[in-house]
Amino acid sequence: MRGRFITFEGGEGSGKSTQVALLAERLRMRGIEVVTTREPGGSPGAEAMRLLLLSGVVKPLGPTAETMIFAAARDDHVQTTILPALTGGEWVLCDRFIDSTRIYQGVLGNVDRRIIRALERATVGDVMPDLTFIMDVPVEVGFERVAGRGQVKDRFESEETDFHVQLREAFLDLARDEPERCIVVDASQTPERVASRIWLAVVDRLIKQRTPRVAS
């Protein structure tokens, strides 16, 4: 049986990586095999492209070219990491995926929606997430968490506050448009509370439905 594919989306510092790790732990405790991965990256080729994308050297080429490099990275990631894992019955938990392109490049970068969708079809095809968590946190909370790491800001973290406010709104709009796939999570709560909310949704949407009913 094909594995399940869950993605985590949202602004910076919203706790995506933390929740990917916590959900993986819970699934493994139930005996489910899990692959955790991220975008941009998640395969050797895509990790090389991640360095280019986050360093900012691609930015001067413009948002359309940047979108194409995100797509090239995704193509390699899907073909070499995600698809083989799903086909082998493993669950894949991915920190960012297509919705980041739709929002960062599409909504905020103003890249033509037809280009975004065409690249999505070419790279993802029917390898669509079964469930997507939109991690929602006030921008200032996300900033504080990331500042606590004391790292140099990357190409996207360096954008103005207004960019991050629009980003948050755009993710919430996307969730409203696709309620069957997307669940908004209040990510300002403690990591444990956020993890519990996510776990309830996974059980409800993906685990219960896989358990065969016993005939009475």
Q: For binding to ligand Z5A (CB under 6 A), which residues are involved? A: 12-18, 39-40, 70, 95-96, 100-101, 104-105, 145-146, 148-149, 154, 156-157, 187, 190-191, 194
Q: Which amino acid is at 128?
A: M
- Of 25 and 89, the one with the shorter C-beta distance to ligand Z5A is 25
- Of 131 and 194, the one with the shorter C-beta distance to ligand Z5A is 194
In the complex, what is the shortest distance from the CB of residue 154 to ligand Z5A, in angstroms, rounded to a whole number? 6
Residue 51: name the closest of 41, 66, 38 by CA.
Answer: 41
In the complex, what is the shortest distance from the CB of residue 31 to ligand Z5A, in angstroms, rounded to a whole number? 25
- Of 121 and 209, the one with the shorter C-beta distance to ligand Z5A is 121
For residues 137, 21, 209, 9, the Cα torsion angle rounded to the nearest 10 degrees is: 30
| Burial category of 73 from C-beta neighbours within 10 Å (exposed 0-12, middle 13-18, buried 19 and up) | buried
In the complex, what is the shortest distance from the CB of residue 168 to ligand Z5A, in angstroms, rounded to a whole number? 12
- Of 1 and 152, the one with the shorter C-beta distance to ligand Z5A is 152
- Of 200 and 209, the one with the shorter C-beta distance to ligand Z5A is 200
Cβ contacts of residue 1 below 8 Å, gap of 6+? Answer: 89, 210
In the complex, what is the shortest distance from the CB of residue 40 to ligand Z5A, in angstroms, rounded to a whole number? 5
In the complex, what is the shortest distance from the CB of residue 157 to ligand Z5A, in angstroms, rounded to a whole number? 5
Q: Which amino acid is at 185?
A: V
- Of 31 and 148, the one with the shorter C-beta distance to ligand Z5A is 148
Q: What are residue 97's phi and psi, to 5 degrees? A: -160, -140
User: Using an 8 Å Cβ cutoff, are 81 and 38 in contact?
Assistant: no
In the complex, what is the shortest distance from the CB of residue 104 to ligand Z5A, in angstroms, rounded to a whole number? 3
C-alpha distances (whole Å) from 151 to each of 147, 148, 157 are 7, 8, 11
Nearest residue to ligand Z5A, by Cβ distance, number only: 15
Q: Which amino acid is at 146?
A: V
